[in-house]
């Protein structure tokens, strides 16, 4: 299905293998046999859980989250999420945005579950949230069509991009704006329209307290961290509003657009 898009994504994945990450520290750690085994084991158990859900309820699209780094200081559980969908052939595929480490750019990838978890994760646990049937159907059509899946993609990347801005876009922000575009494909053509829909539907980003010294250090040492898109009054008060997995899953549950998150350990 859609071989030209798949080929492009596969080529990009090969070119950036080991270099594209989201929701983790971007440290250049070698992939050990233990890390690989644990990642593949989690991927297999996730696939089994998704297959069981498909057989039981016909579920075809799920929000899939991972724990790439410890964010407990910010009262957050998950660092990154993507949309995992069932292909007609059977295997599940994850569509998500990744940052090329050491750069200020990010691109959308389609990966298998093994690749999704083949990182040096902080915790080998997955979060699964099942959307309502109508949300699933909208996402399935949107994510599997090459003319729409990249509609919300914007390359300039900042790990803490302003939730209501368009200068940068981090991974969870792309996935959330893509949900908006999928739900209203005829009217949501641009990022500002997606964000307007999210606001209308009551989405509230996380507000992280990040002190000035931390901000300065982050900007000086990492190409993928910027704060200059945040409103000055909030930025100078150390209040950084950004899209997090936890804020999205809580909103989806609150609005009954999805079930509560299931933890797969």
Residue 21 is given by DSSP the state E
Please say if the pLDDT value at position 199 is more than 60.
yes
User: Using 50, 70 and 90 to split pLDDT, how confident is the model at 117?
Assistant: very high
pLDDT at 214: 59
Please say if the pLDDT value at position 161 is more than 70.
yes
Is residue 201 a contact partner of residue 195, using CB atoms and an 8 Å limit? Answer: no
pLDDT at 191: 98
Write out pLDDT tens, residues 236-259. Answer: 788 899 999 999 999 999 999 999
pLDDT at 132: 98
pLDDT at 83: 98
Please say if the pLDDT value at position 220 is more than 60.
no
Query: DSSP of 173-215, one letter per residue?
Result: HHHHHHHHHHHSTTT--SHHHHHHHHHHTT---EEEE--HHHH
78: Cβ contacts below 8 Å, ≥ 6 apart: 23, 65, 66, 67, 71, 127, 244, 245, 246, 249
Please say if the pLDDT value at position 185 is more than 50.
yes
pLDDT at 20: 58
Please say if the pLDDT value at position 82 is more than 90.
yes
157: Cβ contacts below 8 Å, ≥ 6 apart: 99, 103, 104, 105, 106, 168, 169, 170, 224
- CA 131 remoteness from chain centre: 15
pLDDT at 24: 47
User: Using 50, 70 and 90 to split pLDDT, how confident is the model at 215?
Assistant: low
Write out pLDDT tens, residues 132-143. Answer: 999 999 999 999
Is residue 31 a contact partner of residue 118, using CB atoms and an 8 Å limit? Answer: yes
Please say if the pLDDT value at position 4 is more than 70.
no
User: Using 50, 70 and 90 to split pLDDT, how confident is the model at 235?
Assistant: confident
User: Using 50, 70 and 90 to split pLDDT, how confident is the model at 203?
Assistant: very high
* Residue 97 structure tokens: 């945005």
pLDDT at 17: 38
User: Using 50, 70 and 90 to split pLDDT, how confident is the model at 21?
Assistant: low
pLDDT at 171: 96
Position with higher pLDDT, 201 vs 26: 201
């Amino acid at each position: 299905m859609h071989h030209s898009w798949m080929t492009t994504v596969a080529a990009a994945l090969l070119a950036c293998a080991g270099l594209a990450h989201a929701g983790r520290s971007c440290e250049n750690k070698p992939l050990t046999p233990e890390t690989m085994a644990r990642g593949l084991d989690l991927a297999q158990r996730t696939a089994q859980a998704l297959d069981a859900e498909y057989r039981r309820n016909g579920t075809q699209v799920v929000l899939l989250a991972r724990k790439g780094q410890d964010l407990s200081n910010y009262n957050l559980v998950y660092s990154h999420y993507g949309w995992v969908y069932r292909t007609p052939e059977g295997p599940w595929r994850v569509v998500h945005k990744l940052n090329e480490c050491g750069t200020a750019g990010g691109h959308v990838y389609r990966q298998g579950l093994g690749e999704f978890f083949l990182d040096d994760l902080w915790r080998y646990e997955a979060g699964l949230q099942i959307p309502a049937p109508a949300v699933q159907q909208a996402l399935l059509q949107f994510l599997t069509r090459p003319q729409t899946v990249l509609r919300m993609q914007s390359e300039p990347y900042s790990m803490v991009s302003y939730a209501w801005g368009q200068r940068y876009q981090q991974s969870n922000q792309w996935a959330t704006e893509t949900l908006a575009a999928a739900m209203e494909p005829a009217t949501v053509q641009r990022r500002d329209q997606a964000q307007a829909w999210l606001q209308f539907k009551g989405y509230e980003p996380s507000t992280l307290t990040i002190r000035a010294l931390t901000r300065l250090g982050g900007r000086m040492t990492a190409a993928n961290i910027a704060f200059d898109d945040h409103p000055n009054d909030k930025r100078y008060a150390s209040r950084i509003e950004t899209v997090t997995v936890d804020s999205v899953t809580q909103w989806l549950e609150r609005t009954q657009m999805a079930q509560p998150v299931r933890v797969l350990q």
